């Protein structure tokens, strides 16, 4: 019965329609896969051509450098759209996760809801790169406005991103050597991405060898 129903559906979606659906499914799967060379921003944008457009839009909207946006996303999720914190375990029993962080930007539930209310983007999803990169721009802009951190200060911006506005004010990062170490990694990655981007941005803008 089910075989006949499937056969009927396949016949209905024969030819170009069936091929188009398969192609769309393949493209969606490719979009969700982390880039092959995450250490090179030019290679990232060559592989994920729509990512540059999304990051550029966020840069224009929030004034946050593309290099910093991607450095934060790489450190937070390794560009995995379904990333979550690892579960805690008790012997062989899986327990809950340490936080509700999810997606490219590892945004927690409460902060993501603040972002959606503040920007009016009610349908934004944490596993969508366009929404995640815009979230990073929004948050860095907020940190700059409320904490006085320069948008070019990748180290301090990551501390505020990880610890939250209140946590940064309390300097909660002082006793967290791991967080400070990660912030230095973001700083180095931002510098590297910025240098790489200067070499390929002209091609990106005019659609050169990328497009």
Element (H, E) at 90: strand 89-90
**How confident is the model at residue 11, as a pLDDT?**
53
**How confident is the model at residue 21, as a pLDDT?**
42
**How confident is the model at residue 100, as a pLDDT?**
85
**How confident is the model at residue 135, as a pLDDT?**
98
**How confident is the model at residue 206, as a pLDDT?**
80
**How confident is the model at residue 1, as a pLDDT?**
52
What does R_g of the chain's alpha carbons equal in angstroms?
A: 20
Going from the first residue of the chain to its last (211 residues), give the mean pLDDT of each consecutive group of 10, the final group possibly shorter: 50 49 46 89 96 98 98 98 66 55 96 97 97 98 98 98 97 97 98 98 75 43
**How confident is the model at residue 171, as a pLDDT?**
98
Q: Do 43 and 37 form a contact (C-beta atoms < 8 A)?
A: yes
**How confident is the model at residue 24, as a pLDDT?**
43
**How confident is the model at residue 154, as a pLDDT?**
98
**How confident is the model at residue 71, as a pLDDT?**
98
**How confident is the model at residue 3, as a pLDDT?**
53
**How confident is the model at residue 10, as a pLDDT?**
53
**How confident is the model at residue 84, as a pLDDT?**
73
């Amino acid at each position: 019965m089910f075989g006949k129903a499937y056969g009927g559906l396949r016949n209905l979606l024969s030819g170009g329609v069936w091929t188009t659906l398969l192609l769309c499914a393949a493209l969606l799967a490719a979009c969700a896969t982390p880039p092959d060379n995450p250490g090179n921003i030019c290679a990232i944008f060559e592989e994920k051509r729509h990512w540059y457009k999304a990051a550029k839009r966020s840069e224009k909207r929030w004034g946050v450098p593309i290099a910093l946006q991607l450095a934060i996303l790489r450190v937070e999720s390794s560009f995995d759209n379904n990333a979550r914190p690892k579960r805690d375990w008790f012997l062989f029993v899986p327990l809950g996760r340490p936080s509700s962080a999810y997606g490219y930007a590892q945004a927690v539930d409460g902060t993501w809801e603040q972002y959606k209310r503040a920007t009016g983007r009610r349908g934004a999803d944490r596993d969508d790169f366009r929404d995640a990169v815009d979230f990073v721009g929004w948050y860095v802009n907020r940190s700059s406005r409320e904490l006085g951190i320069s948008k070019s200060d990748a180290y301090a911006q990551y501390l505020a991103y990880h610890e939250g506005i209140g946590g940064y004010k309390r300097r909660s990062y002082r006793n967290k050597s791991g967080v400070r170490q990660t912030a230095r990694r973001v700083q180095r990655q931002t510098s590297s991405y910025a240098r790489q981007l200067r070499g390929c941005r002209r091609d990106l803008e005019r659609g050169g060898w990328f497009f």
